[in-house]
Amino acid sequence: MLYIKISNSPSIESEEVAPGVAVDFDEHGHVAGIEIEDANSTADLSRLEVAGLPIANLILVREKEPMQS
């Protein structure tokens, strides 16, 4: 899943705008975030590029690989 956090306001409502894509809204109806399910199956996230956004506080989190037994 890829989650793009737009604001620090808590989400109180979500709307699926396309299959596997939901937009979260805060109490004022403003976009709080965008969630894309199974994003790695539809996009190459290793090549994710950001342009025109203030990324000073960008936090990247990579899921841990499952342990091999």
CB atoms within 10 A of CB 58: 8
Domain boundaries, the chain: 1-69
pTM attached to this predicted model: 0.64
pLDDT digits over 2-60, tens only? 888 889 899 999 999 999 999 999 999 999 999 999 888 877 777 776 666 666 666 66
Quote the pLDDT of residue 47.
Answer: 74
Q: What is the DSSP string of 3-28?
A: EEE--SSPP-EEEEEETTEEEEE-TT
Question: Token pair of 50, please?
Answer: 């950001």
